[in-house]
Amino acid sequence: MKDLESLSASQAAKAIAKRELKALDLLLSCLDRIGQRESVVKAWVSLGKENALAKAKSLDKGAIKGLLHGLPIGVKDLFDTYDLPTAYGSPIYAQHYPSTDAVSVALMRQAGGIILGKTVTTEFASFKSGPTSNPHDERRTPGGSSSGSAAAVADFMIPLATGSQTAGSIIRPASFCGIVGFKPSFGKVSVAGVKSLAPSLDTLGCFGRTVEDVALGIAAMSGDHALALVDDLHNKPRIAICKTNDWSLASKETAGALALARFAAESIAKGKVNEIVFPETFANLQETQTRIMLSEMSRSLAFEHEHFTKKMSGQISEQIAEGTQINYSQYADDLLHSKSAQGYIAELFSNQLDLIIASSAIGEAPFLKNGTGDPVFCRAWTMLGLPCINLNVATGPNGLPVGVQLIAGLGRDRFLLSAAKAFALALPDPVLRDQASG
């Protein structure tokens, strides 16, 4: 068996279930990797090493507990954990110990997952960069706000980690780090016990190294265990490419990645893969999403801003101030615009399309000093509540990964996973095909 820390979550879960691999050995391998690399990557806020070791030993002695039996898991430090501190990326909560787990964390434990530690998030899952670096180039960002989770999975510290997305905080880091990131349909995973930023947008998901990995993760996090089995794609889907109205921002490597994705999609599609252009009413969806996010954010963080302003960064304070300037009438109009767009996209997926392929990010991961990257190519899809999955399809001029996202209709998470697996297997690079189930 290859180096244990490099096993995908699905490979490790199968080996543990067959008693070909001990949970303790996998955990020790991951801890060894963390010991070697954490000083460079800085993916972790805290580690519960002793509890994790005790849990692994216990799981090795008992019956197989569930889908995640024996898998070490990183939890974004936005999710409450009863046995580890939860700071939400802010010094305000530096000594905060919740009394309960977030629902999704409790379900992962129930499925046999070993919560190894808390991964770095940006301040309240907003845009202020944390200390984490990109495993492919320590001078560059892994993306935000799920920075630690994406970096830890990409660097083989853990096979699976949780994330959340309000604008582009799963898809963008997955693209920058060259891994699979899955943001399921809005509401698929309970947000109870996770610090809210914008309730109309906040969506929980996870990171893995294969499509089967993230299927396993969301199956456990949501309680929809049928999701763990990724079926083969039996019928050819109707696929379109969407560049969105902000395409002028795309780099050459992003344009190239989307062209390559179109080529790969042709082999699994029903008919030709054409470009879809949305109506004029969709032109400002990104701005609508931004206003909704800022408006809700100003209320979600009202307590912290009122009582602990000096412990908040200038960056987030400016965003809160901007959000308070958006009057409620504008916010209500934006929500109506969002609902109207959701209705249009639902009809589109019902009558014309099964799958959309779009860019995940503007380009390769930017330098750390320039922030966590622009989520512009993710904003609209998040606001529409659609399930999205990032797959790595190309390499940019600096040797860094460039991904695309596959998007399906609301509630069609299981189909999206099947389509993503088929798409990965259609990629020309045999190494990239391993994203299916390698």
Active site residues: 76, 145, 169
Q: CA–CA separation, 36 vs 246, rounded Å?
A: 41
Order across the sheet with 388-395: list the strands: 44-47, 114-119, 72-76, 160-165, 203-208, 180-183, 388-395, 401-407, 355-359, 239-241, 274-275
Residue 144 tokens read as: 């935000």
Comparing C-alpha atoms, which of 392, 383, 378, 385 is closest to residue 424?
392
CB 105, CB 218: distance < 8 Å: no
CB 276, CB 354: distance < 8 Å: no
CA dihedral over 130, 136, 139, 144, signed as positive or negative: negative
CB 53, CB 60: distance < 8 Å: no
Measured from the Cβ of residue 422, the count of other Cβ atoms closer than 10 Å reads 24
CB 249, CB 362: distance < 8 Å: yes
Helix (H, G, I), strand (E, B) or coil at 158: coil
Q: Strands (DSSP E) along 130-179, which ranges?
A: 160-165
- Cα distances from 204 to residues 195, 221, 299, in angstroms, run 11, 9, 20
The stretches of 223-275 forming alpha helices (DSSP H) are 252-266
